[in-house]
Amino acid sequence: MGLPNTFEDLSSEMEVDAFRRLFPLRYFERHLAESIRPDGRPLGKARETSIFLGAVSTAHGSALVKIGSTTMLAAVKMEVMSPSLESPDEGCLAVDFFMPPICSPIVRPGRPAEASPVVSKQLSDTISSSKMIDLKELSLVSGKAAWMTYLDIYCLDADGSLYDAALLSAVAALSHLQIPAVAMNDDGKIVLVSDEDGQKRAQEPVNKEKRKLTLRSIPFSLTCILHKNYILADPTAEEESIVETHLTIVLDTSGQLISLYKPGGQVLAYTSAIQDCVALTRQRVKELKSLLDKENSAMEV
């Protein structure tokens, strides 16, 4: 296998589980030499992904996303607010990412996980820089009322590629979002229009019926880990703990590069490695887009 394998003899004697725990890197590299990963995937393949829309019935839009066993629950809640003076005809979107202690043994109760503010910042950066949502669309009455949109993402199971799963759940929840119907009453206040009192539509309707938010170009991401010359797509938590070099690429459906995120790591990213990662990401974007479209059309039927 070409590796200077000092543990070769040891590994043939030892039980697989013990070898995996004691020499995680060696165990990992033995797999890579055979072009396979510890969970049986080929190197460039992402885990099985599923999207379940409308998981939270009390929210205006929600989605439960699983990538392998990484699970994210995203929910969107809308409130009417008065817009800021600088942008009177724009609404607002607040993104928050939570890692409760349920998601991983590393997260202790009481102390927030280190990763959560970072992922949360990355998500709001991605959503704003992809220009997926036109904030003007969230305006109701210019200078008077606009939608304040809270997008909350909960990590239920953290098994690697947190950012990818979080972004997918955020995008899915936004695509499922139904903006509630509201009207302005005589006092100039915005009130919700419920379906029952349809006859009392004498009030000036601001947002006549429930509608979907237009998403212009949807960002999707893929995290790869770089180890020596290997590129592994969509790592699990175990792989992430062994290899330090992570590279996340975000592309949108119109093929623009939204983000290239690589925080340090032992392996330097050369043009060829980035090219390979971009190619893997493009493929993944296609897969995720068709999956999301399928789920959305299934909801409409």
Which is it for strands 178-179 and 211-212: parallel, antiparallel or unpaired?
antiparallel
| 50 is a site residue for other proteins (CB under 8 A) | no
In the complex, the smallest distance separating the C-beta of residue 123 from other proteins, rounded to whole angstroms, is 10
In the complex, the smallest distance separating the C-beta of residue 267 from other proteins, rounded to whole angstroms, is 8
Q: Are 256 and 285 in contact (CB under 8 A)?
A: no
d(CA 231, CA 276): 8
d(CA 186, CA 116): 44
In the complex, the smallest distance separating the C-beta of residue 212 from other proteins, rounded to whole angstroms, is 23
For helices 115-129 and 162-176, the axis angle rounded to 10 degrees is: 50
In the complex, the smallest distance separating the C-beta of residue 105 from other proteins, rounded to whole angstroms, is 10
CA nearest neighbour of 166 among 59, 102, 75 = 75
Question: What are residue 133's DSSP bridge partners?
Answer: none
In the complex, the smallest distance separating the C-beta of residue 96 from other proteins, rounded to whole angstroms, is 10
Query: How many residues belong to the site for other proteins (CB under 8 A)?
Result: 35
Q: Using CB under 8 A as the criterion, what x/- string covers residues 223-252 for binding other proteins? A: ---------------------xx-----xx
Please count the other Cβ atoms lying within 10 Å of the Cβ belonging to residue 79.
Answer: 11
Q: Using CB under 8 A as the criterion, what x/- string covers residues 110-149 for binding other proteins? A: ----x--xx-xxx--x---xxx------------------
In the complex, the smallest distance separating the C-beta of residue 165 from other proteins, rounded to whole angstroms, is 19
Which is it for strands 139-141 and 145-157: parallel, antiparallel or unpaired?
antiparallel
Q: Using CB under 8 A as the criterion, what x/- string covers residues 258-287 for binding other proteins? A: xxxxxxxxx-xxxxx-xx--x---------
| 164 is a site residue for other proteins (CB under 8 A) | no
d(CA 274, CA 262): 11
Question: What are residue 80's DSSP bridge partners?
Answer: 147
Residues that bind other proteins (CB under 8 A): 106, 114, 117-118, 120-122, 125, 129-131, 244-245, 251-252, 255-266, 268-272, 274-275, 278
